[in-house]
Amino acid sequence: MKKTLLSLCIAVGAWMNVQAQAVIYSADFTGGVQGWATPGGTSNGAASANAIWKWDLNGSNGFYASPNNPITSATAATGFMILDSDSLDNGNMPDPSNANSAWFGHGPAPSPQQASLESPVINCSGQASVRIKFSQFFRNFQADCYVIVSNDGGLSWTSFPVNTSIAANAATGTNDLVDINISSVAANQSNVKVGFYWDGDYYYWMVDDVTVYASPATDDIRIVDVYDMEYDQIPVSQADTINFTGEYFNEGGNICNNLVMNVSITGAGSFSGNTNPALGTVYSGVDTFSYVGGNFYGDYLPSAKGNYNAVYTISSAAGSDVTPGDNVKNRSWQLSDSTYAQDVNTPNGNGYPLYRTSDSKKFIIGDFYNLPNADTVSSISAAFIGGSNLTAAGGVVQANIYTYDANASAWVLYLTSYQVTLTGAMISSSTSLRWVKFNFPMGSAAAVNGLILPAGSYIVALEALSTTSNVYVMTNSGSSLSRSFVYDDVTYAPPAGNNVAYIAYGTTSCVRMNFGHNFPKFGGIENINNLNLGTVYPNPSTVGSTITIPSATNGVATLKVYNAIGDVVAAKEVNLSKNITIETTAFNPGLYVYTIEQNGKKSTGKFTLMK
């Protein structure tokens, strides 16, 4: 099958109340497939006559389908279609060595499967705006779902992604209603086919009550998504210029003229700008189109610590819109002192397993972070969800940082933290979020320059080291972008060495980065200069050099130097009538804080050492 993937984010769960719609074709699968084709697909990469959609009355029959509830569409009692990946993989058979686990790969078509369900030919001639709507019940593990549309009788297909926001182990409602504009392929075409395409691993997708209809001429532009604020918290050291980018879609039957996007930022900083020039003509149902920062009256660089809120608004020359509520999107984030976070700091009671005792499976799970600027990482913070069959005290966990090795084309281990044994006080609940800190040894041999991370991309992940207690890292829905996780089990074992697989999901794991100016063992000491000392120099410097702090006062004071995890690495008395010096021969590369105290007055600062 030829597939052309469009960058579309389909609105799922909202059935449009369309006036004067004209039904072109419908199928409710009463009593059978009603002329739809169910060609054999692939199973674990090989052609398979068993990897197919089937007509059904009962729902999934796989090992993990319990209970095997069917879709609750309007005509579910008379039949519906299902791709039952769970059953195809394991045949509802338990593992002979573990009754609590499926017998993976021993069903009629082991995962992952690829399979299509294709309609008869539909004549859409004379219809300028064509949509498809249907009922669905989808549960996700690792699957991609598409509505597919052809205008040449099935020789080639265009794919519209659906269910992109459903996280692993999550599901839609049992009667989730989907409505998609397919005019870009089907409008004014006589040889149209529609269908559904599954590409993935485990659980199921059920569809029913499919209708292709002509929608009336309307003005209806919507914001699909915006992609500028990738994180909920950004440390001030990683602040980067925002190039405003958004995706928009013409849902209406009318041509859209002079489309303009406005962005307004308020909070710790402010900005307002419009796209320039306006986008001239956008036809109904065409590909999603994007605005990029270069079209704005300047981009924006946040600089002040605090909370920001960005409001995106889309408008056109029409001056009217049948659904104005989807013309606006909000994004909020914080410019923090030292924390890099993808999660939105709200517990949702769910989690991904690092280790689960029921089937002895071990995973490595975390989030993706991009560093525009080099900085010293001081620690990783993570939250672990407790409850029935979730995290229990006693689990031993460490944090790993992976970087991409272009030569090996793989993510490889860069830093490993100290190990932490989880106690009951460290475990979060669905209403209480507790952060556990993982510190790094300053002299880690794995670090190229101590704990200084060069600018670039990193995966920050957690690994369970013990095999006696469940450990689940908290997940956090509601983040602004789809998120990324690392995982490694017997099915997706990495190559030899420290390489890991990189799998993208739609829910954020609560794993954060903390940078060099966040010192866990003491706080509130930065930017104090009661002794009126000069600025430390040279900064940054190299290991073995002499750091100097200018002084023009008198008396004896106490100097202390702390490393990135808050340990005192040097202490001495100094004479303030002379410039203060710090010898760094015995230090490792990294970021350091110093304090100078005299008679209750204090001055502080920080410096970075490179190799």
The DSSP result for 144-155, as a single string, is EEEEEEESSTTS
pLDDT, one tens digit per residue, over 463-510 is 999 888 999 998 875 544 445 566 554 444 444 444 455 555 556 889
Give the pair of three-digit tokens for residue 284. Answer: 């109904």
Say yes or no to pLDDT of 370 above 60. yes
In a domain? residue 369: yes
Asked whether the beta carbons of 124 and 187 are under 8 A apart, the reply is yes
Residue 238 lies in a domain: yes
How far apart are alpha carbons 181 and 178 in whole angstroms?
10
Helix (H) or strand (E) holding 27: strand 22-27
Residues 380 and 328 in one domain: no
pLDDT greater than 50 at residue 200:
yes
Cα separations (Å) of 584 from 540, 542, 592, 605, 611? 12, 8, 11, 16, 11
CB-based burial, 217-250: b 16+ in 10 Å, e otherwise:
ebbbbbbbbbebbbbbbbbebbbeebebbbbbbb
Q: Are residues 31 and 119 in the same domain?
A: yes
Residue 521 lies in a domain: no
108 compared with 18, residue with greater pLDDT: 108
When pLDDT is averaged across residues 224-249 and rounded to a whole number, the result is 83
Q: Looking at the domain assignment, is residue 59 inside a domain? A: yes
Query: Which CATH number fits the domain that encloses residue 331?
Result: 2.60.40.10
Q: What residues pair up with 436 in beta bridges, in sequence order?
A: 382
pLDDT score, position 102: 82
**Least confident residue range of 120-124, 436-440, 495-499:** 495-499
Q: Does residue 358 share a domain with residue 328?
A: no
pLDDT at 529: 77
Same domain, 319 and 439: no
**Are both 399 and 288 inside the same structural domain?**
no
Pairing of strands 436-439, 375-382: antiparallel
Is the pLDDT at 202 greater than 70? The verdict is yes
Kindly give, in sequence order, each residue whose CB lies less than 8 Å from that of residue 171, ignoring residues fewer than 6 positions away: 137, 138, 139, 140, 203
In a domain, 310, yes or no: yes
Residue 325 and residue 444 in one domain:
no
| pLDDT top residue among 278 and 428 | 428
Q: Is residue 401 part of a domain?
A: yes
Final residue before a domain boundary, out of 307, 337, 367: 337
**Quick one: pLDDT band at residue 294, thresholds 50, 70, 90?**
very low
Residue type, 177: L
The count of residues in the chain is 611
Q: Residue 325's domain spans which residues?
A: 221-337
Q: Mean pLDDT over all residues of the chain?
A: 82
Considering only 135-149, 400-414, 493-507, which range has the smallest mean pLDDT? 493-507
Assigned token pair, 407: 């030569």
Q: Give 386's DSSP letter.
A: B
- pLDDT at residue 51 greater than cutoff 90: yes
Does one domain contain both 308 and 387? Answer: no
| Highest mean pLDDT, choosing among 247-256, 409-418, 575-584 | 575-584
Confirm whether 527 is domain-assigned. Answer: no
**What CA–CA distances, in Å, run from 96 to 104, 105, 609?**
11, 13, 57
Q: List, for residues 3-23, the tens digit of each pLDDT value.
A: 222 222 333 333 333 344 689
Alpha-carbon separation of residue 424 from 386, 398, 496 (angstroms): 9, 17, 35
Q: CA geometry: angle at 118 spanning 116 and 120, to 5°?
A: 170
* CATH of residue 562: 2.60.40.3080
Cα gap 369→354, rounded to integer Å: 20
Least confident span in 31-45, 159-173, 487-501? 487-501
- The residues facing 375 across adjacent strands are 453
- Average pLDDT of the segment spanning 550-576: 84
For residue 122, give the CATH number of its domain: 2.60.120.200
Residues 125 and 239 in one domain: no
Residues 231, 333: contact at Cβ < 8 Å? yes
Distance between CA atoms of residues 127 and 216, nearest Å: 9
* Radius of gyration, CA atoms only, the chain: 29
373 and 242 assigned to the same domain: no
> What's the farthest any 2 CA atoms get from each other in the chain?
95
- Where residue 88 falls among pLDDT bands split at 50, 70, 90? very high
Asked which of 312, 337, 362 is the last residue of a domain, the reply is 337
Helices (H) and strands (E) in the chain, counts: 2, 49
Question: Which of 214, 245, 269 is at the close of a domain?
Answer: 214
Is residue 127 domain-shared with residue 103, that is, in the same domain? yes
Domain co-membership, 412 together with 315: no
Residue 150 sits in the same domain as residue 267 = no
Closest CA to 365 of 477, 482, 474, 456: 474
Q: Is residue 532 in some structural domain?
A: no
Nearest partner of 494 among 448, 451, 463, 453, judged by Cα: 463
Q: Give SS3 for 183.
A: helix
Number of domains in the chain: 4
What is the band of 376 on the pLDDT scale with cuts at 50, 70, 90?
confident
Model confidence at 609, in pLDDT bands (50, 70, 90)?
Answer: confident
